[in-house]
Structure 1
Amino acid sequence: MKQKHESSLNASERRVAEVRALNLFSDTFLSVALNDAAACQHVLRILTGIPDLTVKEIRTQYRISNITSHDAILDVFAEDSKGKLYNIEIQRKDTVDHARRTRFYTSMIDSESLAKGTTYAEMPDVYIVYISETDLWHSGKTVCPVRKFFAGTRIPYEDGIHILYVNAAVDDGSDAAKLMRYFKTSDPRDMSQGALSRRIHFLKQEEGGYQIMCDIS
């Protein structure tokens, strides 16, 4: 009986150690961490540059199904108080066609959000926040927004799609770069990231947080 108790205790201690070792580049941990309005809002405000963004609803590991095509599983899918939609994705593989992956996700989100009888003008703006550890496009910036213009002009082509490539490899001194440094460490003692830090501290240091992590892993 004593040996069984010690075995259970060791397993529990190992699980706690595993949870503490996770960082926000784990899509599972990110999904749990940002399934909290204040934490998700903190991340989105910094990466989009929208200081008054207010998160209204969050879904994590959200599946959008289509009978005739691939499903899309979104790491974090949020809606703000103005009806704008946000998809936060963690990408750790360099072998993926990133541009076409974001194209696929925006098309699936559009098909889900455009109800029958809705005019195209009523389609919500969609933000794809695509986070990677490496500088995928060699932009030299932490956040690299995709801009569309008519050829030979500076006239913007506004279709309501906003794609932001974010990376943790470039430290350009911005708030986004500081956030990416935090993503890499996810240190529960580091309280520099406000609501996100409080959420990480809860998940890694408090009993209720341990239970959440053990339940999903």
Structure 2
Amino acid sequence: MRRRIGHREQVVLLSITEQTYQQDLERLKSLRYMDDDFMTVCLADNFEGVELILRIVLGREDIKIKSVRTQEPMKNLQGRSAILDVHAIGSTKKEFDVEIQRSDAGAGAKRARHNSILLDAHILKPGDDTENIPDSYVIFITENDVMGKNQAIYHIQRYVEIDDRKELFGDGSHIIYVNGKYRGNDEVGKLMHDFSCNNPNDMNFEVLAKKARYFKQDEKGVATMCKIMEDMRNEAAQNKAKKMAIRMIKAGKMPLEDIADYTELPFDTIKELENQTMQLV
């Protein structure tokens, strides 16, 4: 039987909750489009914002988006998956995956290849002719110049080597890196400034600033962001508890009921973790 919480404990809990809320407000002030969680919130259903980013990065004015999905999981046939920050589909069926990578290690060539493969597998439906597969674009916007060549944008292409010359393979698969450190006096430089800016009033593009301003300054937008940050904390805490439970299950020294009590996870969750652990043995 659970004991009742006394008045003094309630006051302490309220004080902790208020403190956490104030910390969330301070963190919210510092968030930028370069923070993937904030970017995905600002670009969810923000067709104009996604179109602006793609037009600048690709150097094309004819980009029209008909679908935007954020934090979308994609799996291949073997079950390996990736969470796409922003997955957009153009009016000509071209598909775009826009990723934010603050860590250089997360923007490696193999990660780009993995995302490109998943995107192609998602595009091609059973029975489709591979010759009709639309172009796909995996775009990494990185906080640092991961290529180290001081360029604004890096286009990764496949080429056919013929003697001493190269010809574009033209398979329609595109990987692009955008240097978040770039500050040239052009559209890309202005865009990267906005991605690193935490004050909407200092941003160049109003279509991006408007969304950032809503989630940072509007009462409803702030409440939405604080709820998202609370959910992220709860998810992180639950994932930590699950990892601990898995270690305890593997050790085999405690009954499942005791593991559930210790980790404060539902018994059904512990049973599910046990089944998953046994399948991997």
TM-score by length of 2: 0.71
Q: 1:189 aligned to 2:187?
A: no
Superposed CA offset, 1:15-43 (max 9, x none): 22221211122111111111121222221
- Counterpart residue number, 2:228: 216
Relative to 1, partners in 2 of residues 1:210 and 1:74: Cα closer, same or farther, differing over 3 Å? same
Q: Which residue of 2 aligns with 1:20?
A: 29
Instruction: Determine which structure has the larger helix proportion and give its number.
Output: 2
Alignment of 1:123-202 (within 5 A): 123-151=133-161, 152-202=164-214
Q: Distance in 2 between matches of 1:42 and 1:200?
A: 15
CA shift digits 1:165-199 (9 cap, x unpaired)? 11122333321111111111131212421211111
79-88 or 180-189: bigger deviation: 180-189
Alignment of 1:47-196 (within 5 A): 47-96=57-106, 98-151=108-161, 152-196=164-208
Letter in 2 for 1:78: A
Which letter maps to 2:186?
Answer: S
Partners of 1:6 and 1:68 in 2: CA distance:
48
Query: How far did 1:202 drift?
Result: 1.1
Q: What's the secondary structure of 2:88's corresponding residue?
A: strand
Structure 2: which 5+ residue stretches go unaligned?
Answer: 1-6, 230-281
Equivalent of residue 43 in structure 1, options 33, 39, 53: 53
Q: 1:33: which partner in 2?
A: 42
Name the SS of the counterpart of 1:150 in structure 2.
strand
Q: Across the two proteins, how many residue pairs are aligned to each other?
A: 217
The 3-state SS of whatever aligns with 1:155 is strand
Measured after TM superposition, the shift of residue 71 of structure 1 is 0.8
TM-score by length of 1: 0.90
**CA distance in structure 1 between the aligned counterparts of 2:223 and 2:108, rounded to whole angstroms:** 34
Q: Which runs of 5+ in 1 are unaligned?
A: none
- Identity percentage of aligned residues: 29
SS of alignment partner, residue 196 of structure 2: helix
How far 1:69 sits from its partner (Å)?
Answer: 4.1
CA distance in 2, matches of 1:97, 1:62: 18
1:131-180, CA deviations, whole angstroms, 9 ceiling, x for partnerless residues? Answer: 11111112221111123322132421111111111112233332111111
The C-alpha deviation readout for 1:57-113, integer Å capped at 9, x for no partner, is 111111012352421111110111111111011112223461111111111111111
CA-based RMSD of the aligned residues comes to 2.1
2:214–2:221 Cα contact (<8 Å) kept: yes
Give the 3-state SS of the residue equivalent to 2:202 in structure 1: coil
Structure showing greater radius of gyration is: 2
**Larger RCO (CA under 8 A, 6+ residues apart):** 1
- Equivalent-residue separation in structure 2 for 1:191 and 1:170 (angstroms): 15
